[in-house]
Amino acid sequence: MAKIEITLPAMGEGIIEATITKWLVKEGEKVSEDQSIVEIATDKVDSEIPAPQSGIIEKILISEGSVPKIGDTIAILQTEKGESSIEVSEPKTAETKASIKEIKEPFVPEVKAIKTDVHEEVISTYEGKFLSPLVKNIAKKENILPEELSSIRGTSNTGRITKTDILNYLQNRKSTGIQLSEQPSAVKATTTAVQTKQVVSKDQLYSGGDYEIVPMDRMRKLIADHMVYSKQVSPHVTSFVEADVTEMVLWRNKNKDAFQAREKQKLTFTPLFIEAAVKALKDFPMVNVSVDEDKIIVKKNINIGMATALPSGNLIVPVIKNADRLNLSGIVASVNDLADRARENKLKPDEIQGGTFTITNFGTFGNISGTPIINQPQVAILGIGSIVKKPAVIETPSGDAIAIRYIMILSLAYDHRVVDGALGGMFLKRVADYLEKFDPKRNI
């Protein structure tokens, strides 16, 4: 017999810890190689860890709800192989394979305290944010109320409030004489989704007859918080434009069957929209930016996020990195791969990070248009409406005529702090121009 430590695997740049949401096995239970044994969650994505080998789960070291760090041992697996036969190797795929290492007998498992850095141990959560004892004591000493504390931006890579963050906040508060708890309710509402001021009473919420209470799942809570935060941070403006995409539709209908037979890939409209958006972002690079207080960060890479609906009804946004370096076939392959794995809950955390511009497709659900919410920290999001046959006036050599055309509405929500109406309008019109002037003779 041999024993193997199952550790929390690396899950992408910037991810240092994850929450154990659910153990799928019990102590003493037999498992097979690659069988999912535990569900984990970061603030970006949910995932599963498989068993590195067949064997018996001897000991579960980290309980549900706990937050181990990358590399921490979460369970002990007893295998049927002899100690000398164990070979520690890299995971077989890029998926979230468990990290493994051999345990020499005798073994006494040690559960380490979960720490966010060398000096500060996290012992509790406070209004949805982790606090170290030091930060908690400072907050109590300075009489920082919960809603005020939630307004402080944490600068650690997990968003946690550090000692430096709270001291800087206190210094600023002393210099201005302003604190959140003394401000009007309209300002208090601009903290987080959890702290948003309730404008109706409990009686009003539960009035209207019979009802059923459905608790938000973890992902829905994250989405709700992110959406409220975006509206609080960015002054949204939405522009609309109509596009005649007849040539694009006819080209796609003509080529989709041959492309799928040759490439074993579905040719949907999404890659064509992404291609047009990438071209427009090259023309208008000031839309491919983020904002840091009074600084504009112009992104050199074009990373396109594509909003994807999940079977659960939730939404996730996988990112096509360096989309400007891909040809149309490459974009098609990336779109299909990310969408499929998103629906199967197999995305890695770094595959939903680093987006610089997002596209969301209302047309998938038969909607002609919509006003999307910006995916922070980006400054714009493109909404795609459904493609509909409509009578339209077209120019012909013999004059204007009415013909049946494929028409769609594009919408662009943008952050008016840095994207003015002129820039937003020109960018959106450029996207429409690329779609309308689609080359019907192009090869793929």
What count of other Cβ atoms lies within 10 Å of the Cβ of residue 99? Answer: 21
Instruction: Give the CA distances from residue 118 to residues 67, 132, 155, in Å, rounded to whole numbers and listed in that order.
Output: 16, 12, 16
How many other β-carbons are positioned within 10 Å of the β-carbon of residue 93?
9
Q: How many CB atoms lie within 10 A of CB 78?
A: 17
SS3 381: strand
421-436 and 270-283 helices, crossing angle to 10°? 130
For the packed helices 328-343 and 270-283, what is the interaxial angle rounded to 10 degrees? 120
Check 117, 257, 340, 416 and give the catalytic one.
416
Exposure letters 332-359 (e unless 16+ CB within 10 A, then b)? bbbbbebbebbeeeebbbbbbbbbbbbb
Catalytic residue, from 283, 420, 433, 439: name it: 420
Catalytic residue flag (residue 292): no
**Residue 416 a catalytic site member:** yes
Is 376:159 a contact under the CB 8 Å cutoff?
A: no
- Tell me the two tokens of residue 306: 């594509």
Ramachandran angles phi, psi of 83, nearest 5°: -60, -40
Supply the residues annotated as catalytic.
416, 420
